[in-house]
C-alpha cells in the first residue's frame, strides 16, 4: 500500500512527514541526543527523578547508549498524584502556557503542564498521525472528544488546526444535535471515543438519519481500548474508515502514536517518545515481538519530562516493517490494560475479551455491562447485554437461545462460567466519554 505521506503530484514525501521516514541510524542518533538532554533536565530540575537516580547510583553521564535507558528508575501514575500539583515540573510556572488534568481516584487529579514549545510538538505529532490516516486540510471535522481539562478534545483540536482542517468543537453530549450538525455542516471526518460514536450511531438511527449516506468518510478514535469487533461494527454501520490514535495525558495526550492507512499497528512518534516493552511482573525489558507492558519516556518535553513511565497498556513492538514505509516503529493496538484486569476465580479477565465474544456471537450492539458480585461466598460474573430491536422476539424460546449463544461465546473465550442477562433496548447507561464497563460489587475481605 502506498503511504498517505506520498504526494502523487509532486512525487515526493510531504515535508511534514519526513521524520516518519528518517533513516533508522539517524533516528537512533536523534533519540540518544534527546534522551540524554531529557535525563539531564529531569535529574537537575525534578527532585523525584534526581532522588531515585541517586538511590540507584545513576547519573546523566551514565546514559551513553539507548540501551542505558534500562538504568533509569521507572515512574508511574502514583508519582503524579504524590507530587500534586507541580512537583514534576522542570520549568518555572512562568514558562507553562497550558495545564491539563485527569480525574483522580483519590479526589486529587493528576496535573500535566506544557511550555509553548511543548504545545507546538503536541500539535505536530497529532498532525502527523492525522496525515498518516489520510485526513487532509480540506476536511470538516466534528470533534466530540471532551474539551476542558481532559487532554483529548484540545489535543485533537490542535492537530486538526495545524493540519488546516475546519474544526467543529462540539465536545461530547447533546447527541441529537451532534447528528444534526454532522448532516447540516457537511462533516467529512469525526473524532472521539469509539463508545460515544456508537451512541451517536444509535441516536442517528432513531432520528432516521443514515450516517453512511452523509459526507463522513473517516474517524479518529481513542482514549479507551476498543476491539477490532467494535471497529468492524462502526464501519459496517456508517461506511467510514475508523483509525486508532494513541496517547495518555501523563506523556502528552493524544498523539503519542497513530495508525497509518495500512492499519497494521500504531506508529509511535519515536523522535519524541521512546517506547520499551517490559515484563509487567519482573519489569525486565522484553525483545520486539513479545507482549508486555508499554513503557514510554518523553524525549523533548520541557515542562514535565517523564522517564520510563509505566503505562499499564499491554502490547508488543512489531518486528516487521510496515508496508507504508515508515521507519518509526509500531506497537500492536491496545486491546487491554493490566489495571483493567479482573481476576475471577483465579482467571484473568479483560472487558475487551467479553466485547469480542459478544460481537462474534451475534454482531450485537456493543452495549454491555459487567457486574461482579459475591453470592453464597462465591464470586460471580454477570454480563448484561443490551439487545437491538431486531433481536427482540415474543418467543421465550428465541430469547433463551440468544442468551445461550452469548453465554457460550463468552465462556469459550474466558474459560469460566458466566451469567448472561439480556436487557431491553436503551436500558443500559450510555457514556459521553469513556465507557464505564465494570461494576464491582464483590465483598472486600
Residue 249 to residue 198: CA distance in whole angstroms: 24
CATH of 341-440, picked from 3.30.300.30, 3.90.600.10, 3.40.50.300, 1.10.579.10, is 3.30.300.30
The whole-number pLDDT of residue 303 equals 98
At 89-99, the pLDDT tens digits run 999 999 999 99
Domain with CATH 3.40.50.12780 in the chain: 1-338
pLDDT greater than 70 at residue 7? no
pLDDT greater than 60 at residue 1? no
CA atoms within 13 A on the CB side of 19: 19
Confidence of residue 319 (pLDDT cuts 50, 70, 90): very high
Q: For helices 24-45 and 47-56, what crossing angle results, to 10°?
A: 100
Least confident of 235-239, 342-346, 394-398: 342-346
Find the mean pLDDT for residues 173-191: 97
Residue 153 to residue 389: CA distance in whole angstroms: 33
Q: Which residue has the higher pLDDT, 438 or 275?
A: 275
Q: Give the number of other CB atoms < 10 A from CB of residue 11.
A: 7
Nearest Cα to 363, choosing from 426, 400, 409, 431?
Answer: 409
Measured torsion, CA atoms of residues 168, 174, 178, 180, in degrees rounded to the nearest 10: -120
* φ and ψ at residue 255, rounded to 5 degrees: 115, 0
Task: Specify the CATH number of the domain 1-338.
Answer: 3.40.50.12780
The whole-number pLDDT of residue 350 equals 79
Mean pLDDT of the chain: 90
The whole-number pLDDT of residue 433 equals 67
At 111-125, the pLDDT tens digits run 999 999 999 999 999
Domain with CATH 3.30.300.30 in the chain: 341-440
E-strand ranges in 14-150 read: 98-102, 110-114, 140-143
pLDDT greater than 60 at residue 45? yes
Residue 153 to residue 126: CA distance in whole angstroms: 12
Confidence (pTM): 0.82
At 360-374, the pLDDT tens digits run 887 666 688 999 998
Q: Are 355 and 228 in contact (CB under 8 A)?
A: no
The whole-number pLDDT of residue 3 equals 43
Least confident of 152-156, 252-256, 396-400: 396-400
Residues near 350 by beta carbon (within 8 Å), at least 6 away in sequence: 335, 336, 337, 340, 341, 342
Residue 396 to residue 293: CA distance in whole angstroms: 45
pLDDT greater than 90 at residue 311? yes
At 207-258, the pLDDT tens digits run 999 999 999 999 999 988 888 888 999 999 999 999 999 999 999 999 999 9
Amino acid at each position: 500500500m502506498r503511504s498517505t505521506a506520498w504526494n502523487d503530484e509532486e512525487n515526493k514525501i510531504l515535508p511534514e512527514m519526513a521524520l516518519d521516514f528518517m533513516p533508522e541510524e539517524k533516528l537512533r542518533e536523534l533519540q540518544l541526543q534527546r534522551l540524554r538532554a531529557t535525563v539531564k533536565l529531569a535529574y537537575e530540575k525534578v527532585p523525584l527523578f534526581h532522588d531515585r537516580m541517586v538511590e540507584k547510583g545513576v547519573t546523566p553521564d551514565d546514559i551513553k547508549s539507548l540501551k542505558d535507558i534500562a538504568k533509569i528508575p521507572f515512574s508511574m501514575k502514583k508519582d503524579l498524584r504524590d507530587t500534586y500539583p507541580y512537583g514534576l515540573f522542570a520549568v518555572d510556572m512562568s514558562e507553562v502556557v497550558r495545564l491539563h488534568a485527569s480525574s483522580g481516584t483519590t479526589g486529587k487529579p493528576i496535573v500535566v503542564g506544557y511550555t509553548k514549545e511543548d504545545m507546538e510538538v503536541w500539535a505536530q505529532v497529532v498532525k502527523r498521525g492525522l496525515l498518516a490516516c489520510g485526513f487532509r486540510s480540506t476536511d470538516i471535522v466534528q470533534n466530540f472528544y471532551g474539551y476542558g481539562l481532559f487532554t483529548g478534545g484540545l489535543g485533537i483540536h490542535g492537530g486538526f488546526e495545524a493540519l488546516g482542517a475546519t474544526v467543529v468543537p462540539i465536545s461530547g453530549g447533546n447527541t441529537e444535535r451532534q447528528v444534526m450538525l454532522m448532516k447540516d455542516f457537511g462533516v467529512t471526518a469525526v473524532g472521539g471515543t469509539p463508545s460515544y460514536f456508537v451512541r451517536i450511531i444509535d441516536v442517528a438511527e432513531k432520528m432516521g438519519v443514515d450516517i453512511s449516506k452523509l459526507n463522513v468518510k473517516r474517524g479518529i478514535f481513542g482514549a479507551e481500548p476498543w476491539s477490532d469487533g467494535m471497529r468492524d461494527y462502526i464501519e459496517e454501520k456508517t461506511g467510514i474508515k475508523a483509525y486508532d490514535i494513541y496517547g495518555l495525558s501523563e506523556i502528552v495526550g493524544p498523539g503519542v502514536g497513530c495508525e497509518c492507512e495500512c492499519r497494521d499497528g500504531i506508529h509511535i512518534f519515536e523522535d519524541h517518545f521512546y517506547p520499551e516493552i517490559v515484563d509487567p511482573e519482573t519489569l525486565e525489558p522484553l525483545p520486539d515481538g513479545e507482549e508486555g507492558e508499554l513503557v514510554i519516556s518523553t524525549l523533548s518535553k520541557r515542562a514535565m519530562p517523564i522517564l520510563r513511565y509505566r503505562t499499564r497498556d499491554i502490547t508488543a513492538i512489531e518486528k516487521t516493517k510496515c508496508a507504508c514505509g515508515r521507519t518509526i516503529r509500531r506497537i500492536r493496538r491496545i486491546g487491554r490494560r493490566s489495571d483493567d484486569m479482573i481476576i475471577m476465580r483465579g482467571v484473568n479477565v479483560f472487558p475487551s475479551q467479553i466485547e469480542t465474544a459478544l460481537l462474534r456471537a451475534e454482531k450485537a450492539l456493543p452495549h454491555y455491562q459487567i457486574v461482579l458480585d459475591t453470592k453464597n461466598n462465591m464470586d460471580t460474573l454477570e454480563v448484561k447485554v443490551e439487545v437491538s430491536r431486531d433481536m427482540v422476539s415474543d418467543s421465550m424460546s428465541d430469547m433463551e437461545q440468544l442468551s445461550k449463544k452469548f453465554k457460550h461465546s463468552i465462556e469459550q473465550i474466558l474459560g469460566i462460567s458466566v451469567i448472561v442477562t439480556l436487557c431491553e433496548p436503551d436500558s443500559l447507561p450510555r457514556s459521553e466519554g469513556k465507557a464505564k464497563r465494570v461494576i464491582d460489587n464483590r465483598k472486600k475481605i
